[in-house]
Structures are given as C-alpha cells and as structure tokens.
C-alpha cells in the first residue's frame, strides 16, 4: 500500500448512532491519516504482514467499532479499561468484549481541563476529555468502564466519570503480601459478579477456562514477536512493534493472535534471509516506564528518526501486558479466579511498594533485547514512575548502562528539546 492509498475511514452514521459529537469528530480521521502516513508509512523495509495492522488503524473509527456495535446488539457487553490490571478473562467468560480506552491524544485535553485540574497526567486528562467531548467511538460504545485505584489522579477521576458512564472501580492493593492478594481476590470475585449482572450470564469454569486459553495464546504470540524483534539486526521497527501492542488492546483477541503469528512467520523468514529494518550497527535502545496509549507515538518516532531502533518496551504497552501466563490446569471457578489473581499480582506496576522486582525485570529484558541504552519514559505528573526512575538510574550506573530519563506530555512544545537529548544519547551510545 502506498501512503496515499491509506486512509482512516469515516462512518458518520455510525457515530451519530453512538451519540457522538459528529461535527467535532469528523476532523479526527483526517488528522490520524496524516499522522499515520508521516510516522508509519514513510518507514522503509517494513514487513509485508504489517498490512493487517495498518488496516486495523484504517478501520479504527469504523469497521472495528461496527463489530462492537453488532456484538452489543447481540447482547454482548463491551467493557472499557484503562489498565492491564483488569482480569480480561472474566469479561470474556461472560461473552463480554474488553477494549482499552487509555487516551493518548493532545486533542481531548482541553475538554478535560474544563473540569479537571491542569496538573494531572495527560493520560487521565486525555481519556476523560474523550468522554466529556463525546469524541471517541469506543468510549461511546462501552456499557461499563472498569477503573482501578493505581494512582490518585485515576481514582478520583473515576468518581466524576461515573456520572457520564457506569464506572466500576476495583481496589488494586499497593503491596504484595498475602493479605493484599486476599484483598485482590475478593475484588476479582466482586468484579465477576458485576460482569454476571451486566451480561446476564454466569461465569462458568468452562467459560473462564476457554478465556484463559485465548488470552494465554495471545500473550504467547506477543512474546514470540518480541523475542524475534530482539534479533540483531531487528527484523521489525520499534514503531511497528508499539503499534501492534497498542492494537492488542482493542482488536478481537483470536484474530489478533492469528495475525501476530503470521507476522512472526514472516519475521522468521526475514531473519533467515538477513532482511532487517536497519543495519546491524544501528544503536539499539530500550524504553521503560509509563504506558503509551494510542496514538501516542511521540517518543518512538523521535528515537527512530534520530537513527536508533527501539528493541523493547518494559511497559504496560509492552512486556508488562504479556510476560506472564495463567495456569490452565484447574477445574473450579474458585481455583481459576485464584490462579488469575496470582498471574495479575506479578504485574510490577510502579504503584506497588516495594517494587524491586521491576528493576530486576528491566535488567533481564535489557540483556535479552541486546539494547545498548535505556530510556525511561514518564508522563508528566506520573509520580510513581518518575520517582522509581531514581532506582532505575542507580541500577544502570551499577551495570554501566547508558541511561536517560524523559518526562513529557502529549504536546509538541518540547519536541525540539527532546530531539537534542535523544540525539545526544545516541551519540553517547555510538561513543
């Protein structure tokens, strides 16, 4: 596909039906088309199978939304989420659909700032603004939003969001002792009842078991893809990888898994044939930190435009979403929920204390990915990741790893300054 052929499709009739502000939203597909052509389709040497994922972006505001609406008409509830700490398996077990909503766009922030204070993280503002402005088809399509207590900005915003759309909040403990696990198991049970109520269906052992298998397959496919990408030279760009990880949050899981595996087959061939996105000598950078919700491509675009390749994301848009699987061997619902809880308690979000497992995990992934430097990404006002950067820096100093901490938001204002820092960092890696 040439860049000119690519277009994010519009469907005003569908948007109307979802109660959107169609007039305001109609500029959105055009903006996204432009951005996607410039940032993604201008890349050289992309794998052919990226076509499926490009197609998912083309259908972002139409085809995929239509699928959701059709599913809703058939009685399947759609749940919007903002965090990887949601047991998606429970939603799927009652026939529901889980879509990630986290906002990654500057465009909706002014809407949010009419209500929310300015000095909270851009992700929360962007997401909330999408709902207030009625400018996100997914937000309009959801029957329920799942919120969590991982940070103060989120926790308090859910109270306001609940006035716009039913919002179920789960308490995420902030330590990982036995009693915290017990608390979270109770929360998972409550969430299960909530989903049963919303869907009118029971979460059976069979249903949960099937959902666990679907999610394990999806996570395995992403692990496979990430392992392939660690090859030097990388057979796929960091930007493309980021895109796939973002799509993971709203695509149909089984279809997504099949397409990721097909892409992996192609990458296997590329590696065997020595085809890469950049020469082996290209500096390799790993990114850690706060997740990057669609369409936040800022940092990856800066890094790869400056002549490096991103080889890993230690992030919830990244390994934190798929590094752990769930044990499939159990029979009763109680056992399944308990094993799911075990799996989710391994997520090392910076909201936990202590959280040294995360520092170790970053080092493990750094080594596995063949990276030559670590860039820690933090959204402005995201205090937990920002403070945890101190420990990451210490670890990097100890291990002799070049380290750069970046704090930013979605605005283009600081792009010049970030460019300088990132280029200097790459010069530093080159030596």
Positions in the binding site for ligand SF4 (CB under 6 A): 83-85, 121, 123-124, 150-151, 153-154, 290-291, 316, 320, 347, 349, 351, 379, 381-382
349 binds, among another protein, ligand SF4, none (CB under 5 to 8 A by kind): ligand SF4
Nearest-approach distance from CB 422 to another protein, in angstroms: 9
92 binds, among ligand SF4, another protein, none (CB under 5 to 8 A by kind): none
Which residue has 């149909």 as its token pair?
252
Q: Which of 125/231 has CB closer to ligand SF4? A: 125
Q: How far is the CB of 291 from ligand SF4 (least distance, A)?
A: 5
Tokens at 34, concatenated: 């432009």
What is the side-by-side order of every strand in the sheet holding 144-148?
97-100, 78-81, 144-148, 167-170
Please report how close the Cβ of residue 106 comes to another protein at its closest, in angstroms.
Answer: 15
- What is the smallest separation between the CB atom of 290 and ligand SF4, expressed in angstroms? 5
d(CA 138, CA 144): 11
Distance of CA 417 to the CA centre of its chain: 26
What is d(CA 292, CA 243) in angstroms, rounded to the nearest whole number?
10
Closest CB 154 distance from ligand SF4, rounded Å: 5
- Distance between CA atoms of residues 126 and 295, nearest Å: 11
| C-beta separation of 358 from 385 below 8 A | no
Interacting residues toward another protein by CB under 8 A: 402-403, 407, 413-414, 416-417, 420-421, 423-424, 427-428, 431
Q: Which does 413 bind (CB under 5 to 8 A by kind): ligand SF4, another protein, none?
A: another protein
Distance CA 66, CA 245 (A): 21
Least Å distance between CB 320 and ligand SF4?
A: 6
Contact of 228 with 235, CB cutoff 8 Å: yes
Q: Closer CB to another protein, residue 21 or residue 428? A: 428
List the single partner that 279 binds among another protein, ligand SF4, none, CB under 5 to 8 Å by kind. none
Between 8 and 170, CB nearer to ligand SF4: 170
Report the partner that residue 417 touches, choosing among another protein, ligand SF4, none (CB closer than 5 to 8 A by kind): another protein
Of the two residues 95 and 291, which places its CB atom closer to ligand SF4 in the complex? Answer: 291
* C-alpha torsion sign, points 281, 231, 362, 155: positive
3-state secondary structure 211-266: HHHHHHHHHHHHHHHHHHHCCCCCCCCHHHHHHHHHHCCCCCHHHHHHHHHHHHHH
Q: For residues 260 and 43, what is the distance between their CA atoms, to the nearest angstrom?
A: 20
In whole angstroms, what is the distance from residue 259 CA to residue 264 CA? 9
Q: Considering beta carbons, is residue 153 or 294 the nearer one to ligand SF4?
A: 153
Q: No. of H helices and E strands in the chain?
A: 20, 8
Residue closer to ligand SF4 (CB basis): 92 or 123: 123
* Least distance between ligand SF4 and beta carbon 113 (Å): 15
Q: Residue 38 pairs with which residues in a beta bridge?
A: none
Query: Residue 94 or residue 349: which is nearer to ligand SF4 going by CB?
Result: 349
Return the one option of another protein, ligand SF4, none that residue 379 interacts with (CB less than 5 to 8 A, by type).
ligand SF4
């Amino acid at each position: 596909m040439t860049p000119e052929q690519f277009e994010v499709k519009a469907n005003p009739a569908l948007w109307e039906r979802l109660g959107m502000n169609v007039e305001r939203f109609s500029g959105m597909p055009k903006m996204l088309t432009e951005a996607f052509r410039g940032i993604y389709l201008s890349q050289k040497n992309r794998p052919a199978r990226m076509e499926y994922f490009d197609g998912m972006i083309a259908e972002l505001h139409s085809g995929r939304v239509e699928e959701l609406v059709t599913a809703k008409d058939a009685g399947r509830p759609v749940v919007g989420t903002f965090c990887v700490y949601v047991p998606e398996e429970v939603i799927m077990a009652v026939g529901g659909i889980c879509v990630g909503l986290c906002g990654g766009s500057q465009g909706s922030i002014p809407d949010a700032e009419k209500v929310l204070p300015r000095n909270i993280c851009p992700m929360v503002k962007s997401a909330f603004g999408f709902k207030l402005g009625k400018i996100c088809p997914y937000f309009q399509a959801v029957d329920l939003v799942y919120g969590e207590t991982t940070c103060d900005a989120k926790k308090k915003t859910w109270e306001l969001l609940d006035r716009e759309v039913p919002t179920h909040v789960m308490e995420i403990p902030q330590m990982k002792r036995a009693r915290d696990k017990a608390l979270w198991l109770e929360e998972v049970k409550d969430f299960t009842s909530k989903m049963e109520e919303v869907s009118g269906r029971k979460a059976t052992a069979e249903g949960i078991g099937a959902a666990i298998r679907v999610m394990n397959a999806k996570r395995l496919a992403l692990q496979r893809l990430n392992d392939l990408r660690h090859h030097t030279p990388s057979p796929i760009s960091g930007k493309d990888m980021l895109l796939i990880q973002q799509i993971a949050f709203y695509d149909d899981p089984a279809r997504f898994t099949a397409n990721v595996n097909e892409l992996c087959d192609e990458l296997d061939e590329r590696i065997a044939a020595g085809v890469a996105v950049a020469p082996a000598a290209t500096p390799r950078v790993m990114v850690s930190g706060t997740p990057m919700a669609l369409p936040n491509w800022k940092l990856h675009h800066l890094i790869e435009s400056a002549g490096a390749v991103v080889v890993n994301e230690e992030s919830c848009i990244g390994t934190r979403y798929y590094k752990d699987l769930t044990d499939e061997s159990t029979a009763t619902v109680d056992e399944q929920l308990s094993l799911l809880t075990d799996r989710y308690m391994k997520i090392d979000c910076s909201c936990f204390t202590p959280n040294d497992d995360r520092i170790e995990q970053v080092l493990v992934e750094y080594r596995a990915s063949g990276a030559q430097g670590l860039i820690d990404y933090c959204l402005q006002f995201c205090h937990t990741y920002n403070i945890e950067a101190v420990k990451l820096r210490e670890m990097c100093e100890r291990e002799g790893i070049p380290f750069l901490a970046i704090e930013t938001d979605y605005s283009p204002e600081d792009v010049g300054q970030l460019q300088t820092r990132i280029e200097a960092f790459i010069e530093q890696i080159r030596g």
